[in-house]
Amino acid sequence: MSTVAPAHRRAAPLPRYPLEADCVSKSFRGRAVLTSATLRAYPGAVTALLGRNGAGKSTLLQILVGLLEPDNGTVRVDGSGQLRVSLSNLARRGVFFVPARDLLLPSLTIEQQMCTARDRFGGTADLAQIAMQLGIADRLRAKPPTLSGGERRRAELAVALARNPAVLIADEPLRGITPLDAEAIMGALRTCAAQGGAVIVTGHELPLLLPHVDRVTWCHKGFTRDFDDVGAATADFAFRRDFMPGV
């Protein structure tokens, strides 16, 4: 009996992700920040992008959402490689990026900004429920300059969730806020993932972050490594030595 595989047999199709930066590199003034880094948005999961300051996390995020062009590598949207990616085009595909600062317009109330985010793309999100979950129901008529730091971060996430995003990317949403604020934010991100959204979050607040994430992508020396769960990451000697030296 022949053991040769049939000629017509096809290889298994590659998995498709709603958003993916694959094997990207980026240099600034001759210094390589990323050499071969990959970041994927997994539907139904919260992925933490972790690494030391200067490891290239922000550069990788900006490439993923079209704010920077890679020197090499590919950005794919729903499995299709893109010659040029822009944040505005990604927004029409259901991607919402929450930067580390300055998402909100100072002249509009939080309610107005949530309504704009929902209505611009014909969304149906329950704004009252989002505001209740994030503890800002009594601040909807306030403007951003009157909010505390924690209230502002919760309001920024409320605006993002009002869009009902397919992919939600939040850059350091827990920085400089209280544990109670962090619990509200991570709880809302988990709800987004439970509804099928693909969530990517960065940060250094491991005790507040890790209990709420499903996967870890570690950015280190220009490369990335994907871990299927938090336990695999925290059990890895190299990851612990680099990112959790005191644990």
Decide if pLDDT at 39 tops 50: yes
The least confident of 6-10, 28-32, 63-67, 86-90 is 6-10
Better-predicted residue by pLDDT, 61 or 123: 61
Decide if pLDDT at 50 tops 70: yes
Q: Can you give the pLDDT at residue 84?
A: 82
Give domain status of residue 189, yes or no.
yes
Give domain status of residue 9, yes or no.
no
The Cα 107–Cα 128 span in angstroms is: 21
Average pLDDT over residues 68-93: 90
Give domain status of residue 7, yes or no.
no
The total number of structural domains that make up the chain: 1
Cβ(82)–Cβ(75) under 8 Å? yes
Cβ(144)–Cβ(105) under 8 Å? yes
| Residues sharing a CB contact under 8 Å with residue 56, sequence separation 6 or more, in sequence order | 26, 33, 34, 37, 219, 222
Give domain status of residue 14, yes or no.
no
The Cα 132–Cα 238 span in angstroms is: 41
Quote the pTM value: 0.90
pLDDT band at 247 (very low <50, low <70, confident <90, very high): low
Check which CATH number belongs to the domain holding 95 and give it.
3.40.50.300
Give domain status of residue 13, yes or no.
no
Decide if pLDDT at 26 tops 90: yes
Give domain status of residue 1, yes or no.
no
Give domain status of residue 6, yes or no.
no
pLDDT above 90 covers what percent of the chain?
79
Average pLDDT over residues 223-237: 95
Give domain status of residue 44, yes or no.
yes
The least confident of 55-69, 74-88, 162-176 is 74-88
Decide if pLDDT at 7 tops 90: no
* Number of Cβ within a 10 Å radius of residue 117: 22
> Where in the sequence is the domain holding 101, given as residue range(s)?
19-243
